[in-house]
Structure 1
Amino acid sequence: MVAISVQNINKKYGDIQALNNISFEVRQGEIYGIIGPDGAGKTSLFRILTTLLLAESGTAKVDGLDIVKDYKQIRNRIGYMPGKFSLYQDLTVEENLEFFATVFNTTIKENYDLIKDIYSQIEPFKDRRAGKLSGGMKQKLALSCALIHKPTVLFLDEPTTGVDPVSRKEFWEMLRNLKEQNITILVSTPYMDEAMLCDRIALIQEGTFLQVDTPDNIIERFTEILWAVKSAEMFRLLNDLRQYDPIKTCFTFGEVHHITVKEDLKMEKLENYLKEKGHVDIEIYPMKPNIEDCYMQLAQKVAI
């Protein structure tokens, strides 16, 4: 069963095309990721699908309901966690949760089973004002408020941005538990590593989907020869690699540079070139691509 269906959605802000002919479907009970950097169009898409913004053209259905004609019904069936913490900072944890339950004509007690694994972690701080919580605690409270009315579809717009790595891991464990309860989850993130935690993903750049598939299938389609390179002077190394003709692309990934190379380039030849440039402590070795490598390859093709 299809939980979200989007056909040819377009959105402009003045001369800027925020969304360009976006189409996709999300199956019921699926974790579907929209993966891309800031400014790619993720938030505009989420605001349209949650009935907070109108598209210039195109249609979409959420839980079988039209986002324009049936917007009131949709708002009762979905949970939405925007990228910016938007709960009431002066209300306590418990007061925020009670408020959102009241808005949807329910109670904390009625749907406590759905949120207990999440809310139990912040319940010891239920009398603390929301504005005084840590990033991870705010995240758990926002998710609890988005779930308190037992939605069928959950929209999470960059939910882990600015949150520490431990809280990010905990958050994704919560999402997997929610999936087991047959809740459909559409999540956006700029973190490429989180893409591997989704059932399917759409890579987005400048309002256009570059590719849609499972993370593993996208990685399998990577066609380039990929090496990792490092030396004692990484910044100078980056410039020298980008100026070397047999290298197609070069990007920094943590402590190494990832490069794609022409088929006839040998590692020994590249090492000799770098030695001639005065580099020392040179390391070159083949790499298996990750989602970020795939994204950069697809983005480069679009740019060309």
Structure 2
Amino acid sequence: MNGELAIDVRGMTKRFGDRTVVNDIALQVRTGEIYGFLGPNGSGKTTFIRMLCGLLRADAGSGTCLGHDVITESEIIKRQVGYMTQRFSFWEDLSIAENLDFVARMYDVKNRREAVQRSLEQLGLAGRQKQLAGELSGGWKQRLALAACLIHQPKLLLLDEPTAGVDPKARRDFWEQIHILAGEGLTFLITTHYMDEAERCHRLAYIAYGNLLANGTVKDVIDQVGLVTWAVSGPDLLSLADQLRHASGVQQAVAFGTALHVSGEDAAALERAIEPFRKEPYTWRQIPSGLEDVFIHLMDSAQDNFAADEHAPAASHHREPS
């Protein structure tokens, strides 16, 4: 990763009808950086990334992506981007090699056969190249999708929840491959709901209902939110959680394994709220807030800009996917 900016934008805005789904967002991403996007479904993550990469035209904003103007040079940007969607979208009755060859034809890749072979070897698919795509497990389908994204040698990869439904071993292998590619100078924008994956990113942003609420390294994001968290263990934690959620100063009480994480933004108010319960049979200790504590807090406190107006007909609202 170097200091050169692959993405440098400000004021990025997108509206659908009377709804603003991306609201005046600024962002800088360095070349070779793995940048993660967190946020609830429908929060504008995918819409924002599509605007950056020339796949969707912004209503307002300015800046560059891969050195090109995000508004006026979107077609140029698009040709230098690889896009991996949530759903497997290749031809299941074609082999791995045939699928890659088809994608190479679509991109008009020069020396197509060599490019297909290079992609097969790069992602460890050479030994399975004759296997039908429909016969692959989730992890191998994921590798095929990534190979197809890379076949035209893009400078930027957009991955939209790429590991949904994939087993932990395949997820780990996938992320190791991403870090190898980033080390070679490829830039990644990745949406995910997995906290462990977010922590594998160099930096990340939390977007909720069109607004950028926090961004930076994992530590930066946790520090920006300023959440104070206590862990409590003992019997009948569900009953304790219910009592705590009604206490002033407690903003969340969430089960984490055999403990309960109790959090709030005002440390003094939180201590007053938990004081009546700091006795046997409970054991309390203050802990650093984790990314998941922060994620839940931000999601709970964010206002849904698509919440239905009780007087408005449902059909009148156009909702863009997350």
**TM class, shorter-chain normalised?**
0.7 to 0.9
Change (3 A) 1:114 1:30: farther
Question: Residues 116, 125 of structure 1: CA spacing in aligned structure 2 closer, same or farther, 3 A cutoff?
Answer: closer
Measured at CA, do residues 228 and 99 of structure 1 come closer, stay the same or move farther in structure 2, by a change above 3 Å? same
What is the CA-CA distance between 1:146 and the residue it aligns to?
0.3
Equivalence for 1:294: 294
Q: Secondary structure at the residue paired with 1:43?
A: helix
Give 2:153's aligned amino acid: K
Secondary structure (helix, strand or coil) at the match of 1:26 reads strand
- 2:72 is the alignment partner of 1:65: no
Task: Give unmatched runs, 5+ long, in structure 2.
Answer: 304-322
Please identify, of 167-176 and 131-140, the stretch whose mean Cα deviation from structure 2 is larger.
131-140
- Distance in structure 1 (CA, Å) of the matches to 2:15 and 2:6: 26
**Partner amino acid for 2:39?**
G
Residues 150 and 237 (structure 1), Cα distance of their counterparts in 2 relative to 1, 3 Å cut: same
Once the two structures are overlaid, the 10-residue window that deviates more, 231-240 or 145-154, is: 231-240
Contact 1:42 1:157 in 2 (8 A): no
How far apart, in 1, do the equivalents of 2:132 and 2:116 lie? 22
How many pairs align? 294
Residue of structure 1 in register with 2:209 after alignment:
206
Letter in 2 for 1:170: D
Aligned to 1:284: 284
Q: Are the aligned partners of 2:251 and 2:297 in contact in 1 as well (CA < 8 Å)?
A: no
Q: 1 CA distance for matches of 2:73 and 2:273? A: 60
How far is 1:254 from its partner? Answer: 4.3
Aligned to 1:129: 132
Note the C-alpha offset of 1:145: 0.4
2:121 alignment counterpart? 116
Cα distance in 2 between the residues matched to 1:207 and 1:254: 32
Aligned in 2, Cα 1:23/1:268: closer, same or farther, shift over 3 Å?
closer
The CA deviation at 1:97 is: 0.9
Asked whether 1:30 is paired with 2:33, we answer yes
Structure 1 residues 45 and 248: CA distance shift in structure 2, 3 A: closer
Of the structure 1 ranges 36-45 and 234-243, higher mean CA displacement relative to structure 2 is found in: 234-243
- Could you tell me how far 1:287 is from its partner in structure 2? 2.0
1:26–1:237 Cα change, 3 Å: same
Residue 74 and residue 222 in structure 1: after superposition, are their counterparts in 2 closer, same or farther (change >3 A)? closer
Q: How does 1:178-257 map to 2 (within 5 A)?
A: 178-221=181-224, 223-245=226-248, 247-257=250-260
Give, in whole Å, the separation in 2 of the partners of 1:4 and 1:116: 30
Q: 1:201 to 1:115 in 2, by over 3 A?
A: farther
Q: Please state if 1:174 is matched with 2:177.
A: yes
Distance of 1:235 and 1:266 partners within structure 2: 17
Q: Which residue of 2 aligns with 1:41?
A: 44
CA distance in 1, matches of 2:21, 2:12: 10
Q: Distance in 2 between matches of 1:88 and 1:6?
A: 36
Aligned with 2:121: secondary structure? helix
- Contact preservation (8 Å) 2:39, 2:299: no
Q: CA RMSD in A?
A: 2.5
| Structure-2 separation of matches of 1:36 and 1:138 | 25
Decide whether the 8 Å contact of 1:41 with 1:207 is kept in 2: yes
Q: Share of identical aligned residues, percent?
A: 34
Indicate the residue corresponding to 2:311 in structure 1.
none
Report the more deviating stretch, 247-256 or 40-49: 247-256
Normalised by the size of structure 1, how large is the TM-score?
A: 0.86
CA distance 1:130–1:15, change in 2 (3 Å): farther
Given the alignment, which residue of 158, 162, 165 partners 1:162?
165
- 1:258 matches 2:261: yes
Q: CA deviation at 1:300?
A: 5.4
Match of 1:50 in 2: 53
